[in-house]
Amino acid sequence: MTTEVKRALLGHFLAALAYRTQKALRDAPADFGSFRATDGVRSPAELVRHMTSVLGYARTHFIGGHYWPEALSTFDEEIVRFHDMLGTLAQHLRNGDALLDGMTEERLLQGPFSDAMTHAGQLALLRRLAGAPVPPENFIVAEIRPDRLGRDQAEPVSPDKVWPEAPEDWRA
């Protein structure tokens, strides 16, 4: 398998992560970052920091060293740092930078990239538990582009017209 092809697909995966994370965060209640579902479950701010951490860990396989992000003072700052990390990691992929210590694209995908995607799903679940659920959509036609990794993500192309679990005030 050619490295270039694999990395392009990994870049697309990161873009999907940016899109889904923003979908889970867009129009969230002001205090969502500190929402605690129950003891032992990460808050949204802690989850986003953890997502940054696993992606930063992935980056160490390009640059060496260690990465352990300290908690930032606001949820907004955590979100900005997450998207910055996405962009930095994607740039390593685009540059064709060598992976260190025998790391492979497959292991990046099965490890931190997939980790982060599972946590994006948890953010969406926490939205529901916080009383502000995220409307469903058909993601296969979503406008997801490898060069769009920041907070400014597209609105859904194909939002679901039927949402059985919708809150009472929802309108398609």
Decide if residue 133 touches another protein (CB under 8 A). yes
Query: Using the rule CB under 8 A, which residue among 117, 135, 148, 151 binds another protein?
Result: 117
Decide if residue 41 touches another protein (CB under 8 A). yes
Q: Which of 126, 59, 65 is nearest to 88 (CA)?
A: 59
Stretch in the footprint of another protein (CB under 8 A) among 27-35, 69-77, 87-95, 125-133:
125-133
The length of the chain, given as a count of residues: 172
**DSSP string across 107-121:** HHIIIIIHHHHHHHH
**Min CB(94)–another protein separation in Å:** 16
**Min CB(6)–another protein separation in Å:** 6
Phi-psi region of 27 (alpha: psi -120 to 50; beta: other; left: phi over 0): left
Of residues 74 and 122, the one with the C-beta less far from another protein: 122
Site for another protein in 45-74 (CB under 8 A): none
Query: Using the rule CB under 8 A, which residue among 19, 32, 62, 75 binds another protein?
Result: 19
Q: Which of 92, 101, 122 is nearest to 14 (CA)?
A: 92
Q: Which of 172, 92, 108, 88 is nearest to 135 (CA)?
A: 172
- Cα separation, 28 vs 20, in Å, equals 14
What SS3 class is residue 45?
helix
**Min CB(77)–another protein separation in Å:** 23
Residues near another protein (CB under 8 A) are 1-2, 4-6, 8-10, 12-13, 15-17, 19-20, 37-38, 40-41, 103, 105-107, 109-112, 114-115, 117-122, 124-125, 128-129, 133, 138-140, 142, 144, 165-167
